[in-house]
């Protein structure tokens, strides 16, 4: 019977055949241990010379790393195995013999691994990270569908910019100039006026010359937008969403978290509500701790980490100065120099995972703001129409998928959290 590694538990003491790759092996004169992987999981195949026979044993011993195989064997329960099962191999058919696979069990440098990203993805660690990424995406759809949101897809090629004009990727759109989307937000605002509560999930692009462990040139963002919801309503959605994602990964990715040696005690307590502090309070905290920062300056990674260290949950920093935030954020009616916004800072130094705000709903103020930011009337005419025709209070936010994967999986650098990272000096593979 043909099956997969993830399904072997249904076939204990039965003979099964699995299509797999040889991840690693070791052997002695009488017994060979095959580390097999098939995409759904990892399992150890045991070939005992006396039982499998001379021919199968010799064949197994000579197989090379990453050769593809059909392995036949009997499924055994085994408490010592991470997955709980082992395979007593009775036969092997080699599909393709791999010669000189470049990624060997020894240590390799990061650049070497990045050059071989297309193969590196097969490793146990990368497999676990991709499975966690997948679970976060699954839990995202589950959460927003249960909350009555409609998934809407904003365009990738656009004429407008949401997050400033300095880091746009330019391209030609026949005779016009176009950019790759930095954020779907402006289009999601239009969608919210049509469908109420919406969310998008798609690639976004920032031509940022930053080379940090938190920045990608191409990253994926989840962007909910909600009509008739104010800043506080939005924070509640955010903390419930993040809680759902964390708890889903804890429940459904136990093997993966274990493969990554993730300290899950740091995730278990992450349940809404999350602490909230204002930008002013954050500045005071930092000054008290000896950081050189003045009111009006934006936070850098060390500042975010210093604040996050004071909490064992993610923390919202709210009410930033308008001058350091995007043009569309609504000023606080009680204090015009700050805006109704929040960044959600993850614990353990993983930085800002969400940026969000209530949006300006007043037509005149919005016009003033985008003129201040030198954005053209013509390009934003459609965006202004949303204020002209039935404007309502509305809020939304963007969660960066890769930073969230990095945090939950305990991965130091975002380059390992996306299958094929686009980095400052990397377009290959
Ligand atoms: O804070 P940002 O720039 O917010 C927006 O784009 C809003 N328009 C979202 C909205 O309200 N709909 O980006 C949102 C999140 C950040 O908190 C961060 O997690 C992630 O996107 N992010 C990046 N992730 C990886 N690499 C980069 N260069 C990133 N820039 C932002
Ligand atoms: Mg931000």
- What pLDDT does residue 349 have? 95
Total number of domains in the chain:
2
For residues 62 and 147, membership in a common domain is answered with no
Q: Are residues 340 and 306 in the same domain?
A: yes
User: CA 372, 374, 379: angle at the middle one, nearest 5?
Assistant: 120
Q: Is residue 264 part of a domain?
A: yes
Q: Do residue 12 and residue 150 come from a single domain? A: no
348 Rama class: left (phi>0) / alpha (psi -120 to 50) / beta? left
**Atom 31 of ligand 1, residue of closest alpha carbon:** 400
Which residue's CA lies nearest to atom 29 of ligand 1?
Answer: 215
Please check whether residue 110 lies inside any domain of the structure: no
Let me know whether 20 and 124 are in one domain. Answer: no
Which residues of the chain fall short of a pLDDT of 70? none
**Which residues constitute the domain of residue 350?**
118-416
Is the four-CA dihedral 298, 300, 306, 309 of positive or negative sign? positive
385 occurs within a structural domain: yes
Distance 88 CA to ligand 1 centre (A): 49
Spatial contact of 128 and 136, defined as CB atoms under 8 Å apart: no
Give pLDDT, residue 373: 87
104 falls within a domain: no
CATH code of the domain in which 38 resides = 2.40.50.140
Are 223 and 396 a contacting pair, CB within 8 Å?
yes
Q: Report the CATH number that the domain containing residue 136 is assigned in CATH.
A: 3.30.930.10
> CA dihedral defined by 6, 7, 9, 13, rounded to 10 degrees?
-120
108 domain-assigned = no
Nearest by Cα to 239 from 308, 310, 313, 319: 313
Same domain flag for 288 and 143: yes
DSSP 330: P
Ligand 1 environment, Cβ below 6 A: 162-163, 183, 185, 206, 208, 215-216, 219, 221, 223, 352-356, 396-398, 400, 402-403, 414
CA distance 367 to 372: 9
Predicted structure pTM score: 0.97
Q: Which atom of ligand 1 is nearest to the CA of 217?
A: 28
180 with 61, same domain: the answer is no
The preferred substitution site among 400, 405, 407 for testing ligand 1, maximizing ligand atoms within 8 Å of CB, is: 400
Instruction: Write out the two tokens for 40.
Output: 């759904």
Q: Which of 125, 129, 87 is closest to 103 using CA atoms?
A: 125
Q: Do 277 and 152 fall into the same domain?
A: yes
Q: Which residues contact 103 (CB under 8 A, 6 or more apart)?
A: 113, 116, 119, 120, 122, 123
Same domain, 73 and 148: no
Please list all protein residues whose beta carbon sits less than 5 angstroms from ligand 2, which is an ion. Answer: 355
Would residue 72 count as lying in a domain?
A: yes
C-alpha 342 to ligand 2 mean position (Å): 9
Ligand 1, closest atom to CA 396? 11
pLDDT of 181 reads: 97
What was the pLDDT predicted at 243?
A: 98
Residues 299 and 393 both lie in one domain: yes
Token look-up 């010669």 returns 99
- For residue 333, the model assigns a pLDDT of 97
pLDDT at residue 377, rounded to an integer: 85
In ligand 1, which atom is closest to the CA atom of 344?
17
Do 206 and 334 lie in a common domain? yes
Q: Is residue 113 part of a domain?
A: no
In a domain, 295, yes or no: yes
Instruction: State whether 86 and 149 are in the same domain.
Output: no
Q: Which ligand is nearest to the CA of 215?
A: 1
| Per-residue model confidence (pLDDT) at position 378 | 87
- Pairing mode of beta strands 197-205, 150-151: parallel
Distance 214 CA to ligand 1 centre (A): 11
First to last CA, the chain: 37
Ligand closest to the CA atom of residue 298: 2
Residues 63, 199, single domain; the answer is: no
Cα distance between residue 112 and residue 371, in whole Å:
47
**What's the CA gap between 150 and 44, in Å, rounded?**
43
For residue 194, what are the contacts with CB-CB under 8 A and spacing of at least 6?
Answer: none
């Amino acid at each position: 019977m043909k099956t997969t590694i993830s399904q072997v538990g249904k076939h204990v003491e039965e003979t099964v055949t699995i299509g797999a790759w040889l991840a690693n092996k070791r052997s002695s004169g009488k017994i060979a241990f095959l580390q097999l992987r098939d995409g759904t999981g990892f399992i150890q195949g045991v070939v005992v010379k006396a039982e499998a026979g001379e021919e199968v044993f010799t064949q197994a011993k000579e197989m090379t790393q990453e050769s593809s195989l059909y392995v036949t064997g009997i499924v055994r329960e085994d408490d010592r195995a991470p997955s709980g099962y082992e395979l007593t191999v009775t036969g092997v058919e080699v599909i393709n013999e791999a010669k000189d696979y470049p990624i060997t069990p020894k240590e390799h440098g990061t650049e070497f691994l990045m050059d071989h990203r297309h193969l590196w993805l097969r490793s146990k660690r990368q497999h676990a990270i991709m499975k966690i990424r997948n679970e976060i995406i699954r839990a995202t759809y589950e959460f927003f569908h249960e909350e009555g949101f409609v998934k809407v897809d904003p365009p990738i090629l656009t004429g407008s910019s949401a997050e400033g004009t300095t880091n746009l990727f330019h391209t030609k759109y026949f005779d016009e100039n176009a950019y790759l989307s930095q954020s779907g937000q402006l289009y999601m605002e239009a969608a919210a006026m049509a469908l109420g509560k919406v969310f998008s999930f798609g690639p976004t692009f920032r031509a940022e010359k930053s080379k940090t462990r938190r920045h990608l040139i191409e990253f994926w963002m989840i962007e909910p937008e909600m009509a008739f919801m104010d800043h506080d309503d939005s924070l509640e959605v955010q903390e419930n969403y993040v809680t759902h994602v964390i708890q889903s990964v804890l429940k459904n990715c136990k093997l993966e978290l274990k493969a990554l040696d993730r300290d899950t005690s740091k995730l278990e307590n992450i349940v809404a509500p999350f602490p909230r502090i204002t930008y002013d309070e954050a500045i005071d905290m930092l000054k008290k701790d000896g950081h050189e920062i003045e009111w009006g300056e934006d936070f850098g990674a060390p500042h975010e980490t210093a604040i996050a260290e004071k909490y064992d949950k993610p923390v919202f920093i709210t009410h930033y100065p308008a001058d350091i935030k995007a043009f569309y954020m609504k000023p606080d009616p009680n204090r015009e120099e700050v805006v109704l916004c929040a960044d959600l800072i993850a614990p353990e130094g993983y930085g800002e995972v969400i940026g969000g705000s209530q949006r300006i709903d007043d037509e005149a103020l919005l016009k003033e703001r985008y003129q201040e930011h030198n954005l053209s009337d013509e390009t934003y005419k459609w965006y202004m129409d949303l204020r002209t025709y039935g404007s309502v209070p509305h809020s939304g936010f963007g969660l960066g998928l890769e930073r969230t994967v990095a945090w939950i999986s305990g991965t130091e650098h975002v380059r390992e959290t996306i299958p094929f990272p686009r980095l400052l000096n990397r377009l290959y593979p």
